[in-house]
């Protein structure tokens, strides 16, 4: 009886010591908010996943990058979620061969002679990404729709810079079921939920999305995934490009093998742009102006410039040139002067061309 009582007292003292020193323990583990009080079972599982991400991703990087849907600060980290070159998807053990009559056969078991593993030939079977998705209150159907739209994003990128420049990407996305859960997850990652409903942490290669509606969760998940794609394929990119492309792809839809990119509903009313824009030259220099009253104009202007570039073959060619330059030195950024030269934004003809596209009725792009 005495031994049992002593063990009980010892256990209580150990638990008390762990509680009193929880901040020190969290600091040693490299986590903020390691102890989450009063969490539900689902929140505890999500928090554990984020804690794992936070404790294993800190060693291979130099500077920090953080991107969010609405105005969190951006710092740059030379880090990548690339899984190497893009290859054709495996047929997972399906074999094919021809018999003596020239008839082609398919089976999950190879014939004794002459069989080879089947390879998809369509570019729609390219293995662009691995998706690790915790979809919370959403179901498998959400995952399937997200995968289809992400594949369309990758095909659009491939159409711009070519398959040889593409990289397979590891995408990790967590859907938080409500605002409370979202805040707790961001606490673990050392970020604030103020002013945003989605965030991508390059340091841990993980995106967290607050669920408000299925349509919103889809748009935000795509937005944050584009940040991961940019980092893996190109490396560090300036914020106008990173947010502009993320805003551009938010409303992507697919039908069979076709993609449709509708104008972003946050910046367009009745098919026309609503609100003032910064000139692209000002946008290129605006690295520190993404807070407060300027925030909406920065996002709107970034989207508008990417929309303009994607509206013509000439614009897409300029974008290709720029993206290849960023890819050549993934830890550095292309200079302001180079960007102006590539997009010809100092020429008088640019202002006329830009205004002609942006001030007219805006339509969906189809690829």
Same domain, 243 and 99: no
Same domain, 101 and 235: no
DSSP letters for 253-320: EEETTEEEEPPPTTTEETTEE-S----HHHHHT-TT--STTHHHHHHHHHHHHHHHHTTSHHHHHHHH
Instruction: Give the pLDDT confidence score for residue 78 in this predicted structure.
Output: 63
Same domain, 272 and 149: yes
Within-domain flag for 352: yes
List, for residues 307-323, the tens digit of each pLDDT value: 999 999 999 999 999 99
Could you list the residue range(s) of the whole structural domain that residue 344 is in?
66-85+128-366
What is the number of structural domains in the chain? 2
Question: Under a CB-based contact definition with an 8 Å cutoff, are residues 62 and 81 in contact?
Answer: no
DSSP, res 215: H
Residue 226 tokens read as: 């584009």
Q: How far apart, in whole angstroms, are the C-alpha atoms of residue 115 and residue 112?
A: 7
List, for residues 117-130, the tens digit of each pLDDT value: 545 454 456 899 99
Model confidence at 338: pLDDT above 80: yes
| Mean pLDDT, range 9-36, rounded to an integer | 43
Q: How far is CA 351 from the centre of its chain?
A: 31
Same domain, 114 and 195: no
Same domain, 222 and 358: yes
Within-domain flag for 40: no
User: CA-CA-CA-CA torsion for 16, 22, 28, 32, nearest 10 degrees?
Assistant: 170
List strand residue ranges (DSSP E) for 69-166, in order.
Answer: 82-85, 87-88, 90-98, 104-107, 116-119, 126-127, 129-134
Model confidence at 166: pLDDT above 90: yes
Give the helix, strand, coil percentages of the chain, each rounded to 5. 45, 20, 35
List, for residues 218-252, the tens digit of each pLDDT value: 999 999 999 999 999 999 999 999 999 999 999 99
Within-domain flag for 183: yes
Same domain, 210 and 294: yes
Within-domain flag for 47: no
Q: Directed axis angle between helix 41-56 and helix 179-188, to 10°?
A: 30
Same domain, 103 and 245: no
Q: What proportion of the chain, given as a percentage, has pLDDT over 90?
A: 58
Q: Tokens 């893009």 appear where?
A: 86
Model confidence at 275: pLDDT above 70: yes
- Residues with Cβ < 8 Å from 315, sequence gap 6 or more? 308, 309
Q: Tokens 């009313």 appear where?
A: 269
DSSP, res 114: S
Same domain, 219 and 104: no
Within-domain flag for 207: yes
Instruction: Give the pLDDT confidence score for residue 71 in this predicted structure.
Output: 35
Same domain, 102 and 202: no
User: Looking at residue 170, which CATH number applies to its domain?
Assistant: 1.10.390
Q: Rounded to whole angstroms, what are the CA distances from 27 to 21, 137, 172?
A: 10, 32, 24
Within-domain flag for 176: yes
Within-domain flag for 5: no
Edge-to-edge strand ranges of the sheet holding 104-107: 104-107, 90-98, 116-119
Instruction: Give the pLDDT confidence score for residue 25 in this predicted structure.
Output: 38
Same domain, 93 and 186: no
List strand residue ranges (DSSP E) for 89-185, in order.
Answer: 90-98, 104-107, 116-119, 126-127, 129-134, 167-176
Within-domain flag for 23: no
Same domain, 79 and 94: no
DSSP, res 97: E
Q: What are phi and psi of 97, to 5 degrees?
A: -160, 165
| Mean pLDDT, range 194-199, rounded to an integer | 92
Same domain, 188 and 97: no
């Amino acid at each position: 009886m005495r031994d049992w009582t002593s063990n009980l007292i010892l256990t209580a003292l150990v638990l008390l010591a762990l509680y009193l020193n929880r901040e020190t323990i969290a600091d040693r583990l490299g986590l903020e908010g390691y102890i989450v009080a009063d969490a539900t079972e689902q929140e505890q599982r999500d928090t554990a996943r984020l804690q794992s991400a936070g404790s294993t991703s800190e060693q291979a990087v130099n500077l920090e990058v953080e991107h969010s849907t609405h105005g969190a600060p951006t710092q740059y980290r030379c880090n990548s979620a690339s899984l190497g070159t893009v290859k054709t998807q495996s047929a997972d053990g399906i074999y094919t061969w021809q018999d003596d009559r020239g008839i082609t056969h398919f089976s999950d078991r190879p014939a004794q002679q002459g069989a080879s593993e089947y390879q998809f030939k369509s570019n729609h079977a390219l293995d662009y990404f691995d998706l690790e998705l915790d979809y919370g209150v959403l179901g498998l159907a959400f995952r399937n729709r997200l995968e289809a739209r992400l594949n369309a994003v990758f095909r659009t990128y491939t159409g711009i810079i070519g398959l040889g420049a593409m990289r397979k990407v590891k995408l990790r996305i967590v859907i938080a079921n409500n605002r409370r859960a979202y805040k707790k997850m961001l606490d673990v990652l050392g970020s604030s939920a103020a002013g945003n409903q989605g965030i991508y942490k390059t340091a841990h290669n993980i995106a967290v999305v607050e669920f408000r509606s299925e349509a919103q969760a889809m748009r935000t998940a795509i937005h944050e995934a584009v940040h991961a794609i940019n980092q893996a394929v190109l490396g560090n990119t300036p914020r106008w490009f990173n947010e502009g492309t993320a805003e551009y792809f938010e409303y992507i839809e697919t039908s069979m093998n076709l993609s449709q990119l509708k104008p972003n509903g946050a910046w367009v009313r009745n098919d026309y742009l609503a609100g003032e824009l910064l000139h692209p030259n000002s946008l290129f220099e605006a690295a520190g102006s993404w807070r407060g009253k300027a925030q909406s104009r920065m996002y709107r202007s970034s989207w508008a410039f990417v929309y303009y570039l994607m509206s013509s073959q000439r614009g897409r060619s300029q974008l290709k040139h720029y993206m290849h330059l960023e890819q050549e030195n993934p830890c550095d950024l292309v200079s302001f002067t180079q960007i102006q030269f590539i997009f010809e934004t100092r020429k008088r003809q640019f202002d006329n061309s830009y205004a002609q596209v942006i001030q007219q009725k805006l339509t969906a792009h189809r690829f």
